[in-house]
Structure 1
Amino acid sequence: MVSITLFGGSGRMGRAIAEVAGQRADVAIVPDGGDVFVDFSVPAALDAHLDAAVAGGTPIVIGTTGLEAAHQRAIDAAAERVALIQAANTSLGVNLLSHLVREAAARLGDDWDIEIFEMHHRMKVDAPSGTALLLGRAAAEGRGVDLDAVADRGRDGISGARTSGHIGFAALRGGSVAGDHQVILAADGERIELGHRAESRIVFARGAVAAAAWLAGKPAGRYTMADVLGF
């Protein structure tokens, strides 16, 4: 039995994780002192949660998005002391999609433009989504470039012709959409579209619980969903 202490338990994802955990016999949600922490709260709370993980030697799964460079440095430092997974998306399908995007970008030249479209519910506060950025990083890694150097995160007005080799992002918000993502690779006369649609937050919750169960007892270091899923 793996016990999980959940940060952000009152939010949409927290409630979904509690529901999934309640359906498994090998995990349980506990208010504190769990074998693993799972954080789906807010960026402002991350430092305190990392400090608690390090102080207790407790592995932690981080699903919080909208993080900035300072948060990433804190995560890197914590991973030197405890086992840690930071995942913009814990869905099996999305992590497979990321693998496919990396492979496609590696095999196609810069004459193939890459655009990433995402849509989420009206209450989401950050854009592009963490998953869109995950897919963008996969595409950039496939091409051997730094995403920050080639990302176009918004176009408005007379933006000029598209820059060859750049990776574009478009974000839509509305309704109750759990998460739609599409990666478009477009060349003259042909187009490849790779996508994923989440119909419920349960798909992310299942992956988060699986990640927590897998992470329990692991030595300090950074791990990924690919490690959890054996990709």
Structure 2
Amino acid sequence: MRIAIAGASGRMGRMLIEAVSQSSDLKLTAALDIAGAPMLGQDACGFLGQNSGVLITDQLSAIQQADCLIDFTRPEGSLEHLAACVQYGVNMVIGTTGFDEAGKAAITQASESIGIVFAPNMSVGVNATLKLLDMAARILNSGYDVEVFEAHHRHKVDAPSGTALKMGETIAQAWGKPLDEIATWTRHGHTGPRKTGEIGFSVVRGGDIVGDHTVFFCGTGERIEISHRSSSRAGYAEGSLRAARFLEGKRKGLFDMQTVLGL
């Protein structure tokens, strides 16, 4: 299966390239980066001491050399790549977060022409955690206050993280309510007592934290914590390759990692 990687010079891009190069059933055939990126024109596997013959390019036409593009860039870049994938009939795995409603609508529309796996977190462990949160929320649906905590590196530009939002959405859905109606995004000053049934969010940005997420179910006399901590981006990369394999042979459709994993 032929794979293209977007953001090839970045931390996640390199992790994806390394994962593809180590797989037996996937082949790197295109590597993209933005115009002016310092690694343009260099071999995509050069940082591994390997010669893949695939040069990093800013030309979107390179996408047509692949069966699937994996993208963990920024919303604006991902939407450009999405349009190119539709043009060339190439499936897409989207791990980018921070899309607005218009961006999400564009992804949904594109899925009528190509196969797309779109998820805020591609980690198998995170998606298992989401399943556990759904179960916990259905059991702990009264008498418990819920808080979602997340921490990421200082370079992350959106907050709360897409994973934290997905955790909140999972709990809200289990309760039969829209997240926006029960979420508390900030607390400052005299906030008064906590409202029953709300979901609070807390965010840390600093250093090189790959990604920590904990959901607290705080009851009277007890506290349940469900956590996932990433020590590297390898889990995201492996989950992304699993998503790409899932799309093989699919001509169109919009899927998430819960579907990919059969959850």
TM-score of the superposition, structure 1-length normalised? Answer: 0.96
Any idea what SS the aligned residue of 2:191 has? Answer: coil
- Residue in 2 that maps onto 1:17: 16
Match of 1:48 among 61, 64, 80: 80
Asked whether the equivalents of residues 38 and 60 of structure 1 are also in contact (C-alpha less than 8 Å), the reply is: yes
- How high is the sequence identity, in percent, across the aligned residues? 43
Q: TM-score when scaled to structure 2?
A: 0.85
1:90 aligned residue = 122
Give the corresponding residue for 1:130: 162
For structure 2, the residue ranges without an aligned partner over 5 or more in a row are 31-61
Q: 2:40 matched to 1:8?
A: no
Report if the CA contact (8 A) 1:9-1:40 is conserved. Answer: no
1:30 aligned counterpart, secondary structure: strand
The structure, 1 or 2, with the larger RCO (C-alpha pairs under 8 Å, 6+ apart) is: 1
What's 1:77 paired with? 109
Please say if 1:225 is aligned against 2:257.
yes
Structure 2 residue identity aligned to 1:198: S
Quick check: 1:174 aligned with 2:173?
no
Q: Which aligned segments of 4 or more residues in structure 1 are displaced greater than 3 angstroms?
A: none
Deviation at 1:87, TM superposition (A): 1.0
Report the alpha carbon displacement of residue 28 of structure 1 after superposing the two structures with TM: 1.5
Are residue 63 (structure 1) and residue 95 (structure 2) matched? yes
Q: Is 1:214 aligned to residue 251 of structure 2?
A: no
CA root-mean-square deviation: 1.1
Aligned to 1:160: 192
**How many residues of Structure 1 are paired with residues of Structure 2 in the alignment?**
230
Deviation at 1:166, TM superposition (A): 1.0
1:99 is aligned to 2:131: yes
**C-alpha deviations, 1:121-169, integer Å up to 9, x for none?**
1111111011101111111111111111111111111122212111111
Distance in 2, Cα, partners of 1:153 & 1:4: 38
CA distance in 2, matches of 1:223, 1:159: 39
- Structure 1 residue runs of 5 or longer lacking an equivalent are none
- DSSP-derived class of the 2:23 partner: coil
Give the structure with higher Rg (CA): 2
CA positional deviation for 1:110: 3.1
Instruction: Quote how far apart the aligned CAs of 1:109 are.
Output: 2.2
